[in-house]
Structure 1
Amino acid sequence: MHMSRFADDTALIVVDLQPDFMPGGALACFDGDAIVPAIARLLERRDYGTVVATQDWHPRAHASFAAQHAGRAPFEVIDLHGAPQTLWPEHCVQGTPGAALDARVDWTPADLILRKGTGVQVDSYSAFRENHGPNGARPRTGLAGWLRERGIAEVHVCGLARDVCVLWTAQDAQAEGFRVRFLWDLTRPVAPDGDAPTRQALAQAGIGLG
């Protein structure tokens, strides 16, 4: 029987490792495919007793898509439900090939596949909470409770994108009371200029790099 490398109270969260975030995809992250082999090996080695994979899974008319806002272009920022919202190219539309989990990874070890961004009116960067919704609050996904019921005290985060969904997941994990390790080398940003603010945010939060 294979023994996990990490303690039973430690989980791995693989964020949005999907073709639309890879080079050539609808919302390509810089060098996004470079992390796939290492993440595949990590899952293959069964280093973690608990593995969560998140999957961006948007309705076609999602409010975060620039195409849903007349006269707006991708990467513009608007006010949505009282909070800043970056407008994105259409990406990870439910049931499309670009929304699938990356086929180069054997996802068998994943205990939970968490689909996020499924509501048409609210975006969802973090695995733990959606972005601000129509009532001004950030609804919970239920992941924190699921992890706690499995005895998880520490989470390690990796995936895409380093400066958006992985960062928000790490910050929210810490806010939920988990110890957090940010696996920097197993993440990539939307664009390289996102790295300095991400490092600053992690340092301010006291989140360690793995």
Structure 2
Amino acid sequence: MKSRRFLWLFLGLLALLLPSFAGACVDCAAFGKIGVIVVDMQGDFTTLKKGSLAVKGTDEAFVQKVEKATVDLAKHGFVIFGTQDWHPADHVSFYINHDGKKPFEMIQVNGKPQVLWPPHCIQGTENARVLLNNNLFLAIVKKGQDTRFDSYSGFQDDGGAKTEMAKILKRNGIQKVVVYGIATDYCVKATALDAKKAGFKVIVVEDLCKGVAPGSTQKALEEMTAAGITVIKTLDLKKIRDL
């Protein structure tokens, strides 16, 4: 008798909980498996954390906006991935590793132009960590670990060495990706372009990105559009689904 009462109690609780679980993934079937790549949402790129390479407008409100959008996408069944700059202290892109050089000077490295940056996102430091709730991500792909090469893209470094990003996306059945983060004119652009080259349908959400400079940001948006990437002003789930 007691076991029967327990069974009915369990079934009653289950009936109450099931609508909540279903509501947590509204329209999952309609959207299918779409990936999200959140690019470099790290302390050193934000004014919120007074980062060494902070991009204008990356304050607490922006970080919270990006986190809220990412949570909403996860609730709708989107699969969340991230990129993370993860440099050794002696990285080639740091001006302090080149005698007599200053931040933002341009030099030649391995026959290619290289901007010299202030040290940023050094492995294991507080401002290298991803600011969003890490439990949102299926995977966070580290980049820029090879001291010899810079790496703006989440798919490969400037030396051509591939990250695991493309393999992870394909292994999870992803064919379409939504890309946003920091910075529009550098790592967002490079990641979106490489995603397109890797065969994914790519959507960039403009107001979930921040760029370093207005001119280069506008040029980046135009370059991505010309490459066949869809740039949308704001997050629009219906538009993303229909593309």
Q: Matched residue pairs, number?
A: 203
Does residue 1:28 correspond to 2:50, yes or no?
no
Distance 2:26 2:112 in 1: 41
Q: Deviations over 1:44-76 (max 9, x none)?
A: 222343111111111011001011111221112
Q: Note the C-alpha offset of 1:130.
A: 0.8
Q: 1:112 to 1:4 in 2, by over 3 A?
A: farther
Does residue 1:183 correspond to 2:205, yes or no?
yes
Give 2:179's aligned amino acid.
V
Is the partner of 1:195 in helix, strand or coil? helix
Q: Which protein has the bigger helix share?
A: 2
Task: State the match for 1:160 in structure 2.
Answer: 182
Give 1:192's aligned amino acid.
P
Picking from 14, 17, 37, the partner of 2:38 is 14
Task: State the match for 1:75 in structure 2.
Answer: 104
Task: State the match for 1:93 in structure 2.
Answer: 122
Q: Which protein has the bigger strand share?
A: 1
Contact 1:39–1:186 (8 Å) recurs in 2: yes
Matches within 5 A, 1:4-153: 7-23=31-47, 24-33=50-59, 34-45=61-72, 46=74, 47-102=76-131, 105-131=132-158, 133=159, 138-153=160-175
TM-score (norm 1): 0.91
Q: 1:120 to 1:3 in 2, by over 3 A?
A: same
Does residue 1:199 correspond to 2:221, yes or no?
yes
Shift >3 Å, 4+ stretches: none
Is the partner of 2:54 in helix, strand or coil? coil
Identical amino acids, percent of aligned pairs: 37
Distance 2:51 2:162 in 1: 28
Is the partner of 1:185 in helix, strand or coil? helix
Flag the structure with more relative contact order, 1 or 2, with Cα contacts below 8 A and sequence separation at least 6. 1
Contact 2:225–2:231 (8 Å) recurs in 1: no
Structure exhibiting the larger radius of gyration computed from Cα positions: 2
RMSD of aligned residue pairs (Cα, Å): 1.5
